[in-house]
Amino acid sequence: MSSTPLIMMLGLLLACLMLGSVFLVCLRRLRRDYASHVRLLSERERVATGLHDTLLQSMQGMILRFQGVSDRLPHDSAERATIEHILDQADEVLAEGRHQILALRIPVVYGDNLAQALAAVGQSLRENFHARFSMLVTGDVAQVNGDRGEEIYSITREALYNAFRHAQADHVELELVYGCEFLTVYVRDNGRGMAQPPRSFAALRERAAILGGTLDLMSLPERGTEVILRASGRICYQVPRPLGWQHRLAAWLSRTEQRS
């Protein structure tokens, strides 16, 4: 009988050692994955910087030289019309190249830095497309899950790019609203509007659905466009917020109606 406490202590010690071993294995794996992720981000930043500093800068220089040649030709010459058409195509390629480089520089979105990451995107696009950019954050800023934050970042970046690149706007506005039920993102511009959504909009909507939310677009000719992303707070926030009394009352009434 006297050996029973000793056996129990040895069993408890063995269980603790096993749990400690599992914890160390998981910790090593997390460290390895984190180091791999950091190396990947570093490599992507190096490639993006190289492309920007060499390829795009060289292409920009070539476009300017061809533009100089075009300016010396008669306005009604066929050669000038051909060069202008080629230069328009080159501008499209250059803009798309800048967009792809911006995609390579996706930051690690974690915690409460989502707003800062999106602000950096807006400022970068403002410098490239020479339109005014403003940003507004309302509500109590909440910690956002990392993978969900990167998805919100990616969808919003695409909406911002479309506003700067295609809307022909002189002002683009980004607003983040941290609500109890939803994290809502508004991308507004005062551009020419659009007759139909861009080709990428359907795919963006599917990605918004993964966030437990929606993606809507409202546009009027010559009065601008507004893209609205709603992401479920229950899915996106690290600590889901309690609903306000209005939502609790609506939920109680809904349950009462279902029971009756």
**Phi, psi for 227 (deg, rounded to 5):** -110, 130
Whole-number pLDDT of residue 217: 94
What tokens does 92 get?
A: 């499209």
What tokens does 257 get?
A: 């109606």
Helices (H) and strands (E) in the chain, counts: 8, 5
In this predicted model, what pLDDT tens digit does every residue of 214-254 receive, in sequence order? Answer: 999 999 888 899 999 999 999 999 887 665 555 555 555 65
- The Cα 218–Cα 186 span in angstroms is 11
For the entire predicted model, the pTM comes to 0.60
What tokens does 124 get?
A: 């970068």
User: Regarding beta strands 132-139 and 171-178, do their DSSP bridges make them parallel or antiparallel, or are they unpaired?
Assistant: parallel
| Amino acid at position 77, single letter | S
Whole-number pLDDT of residue 146: 77
**Domains in the chain, ordered, with CATH?**
109-260 (3.30.565.10)
- The Cα 146–Cα 63 span in angstroms is 40
In this predicted model, what pLDDT tens digit does every residue of 9-63 receive, in sequence order? Answer: 556 666 666 665 665 566 566 555 545 555 555 555 565 555 555 666 666 667 7
In this predicted model, what pLDDT tens digit does every residue of 103-144 receive, in sequence order? Answer: 555 555 655 688 988 998 898 888 878 899 999 999 988 888
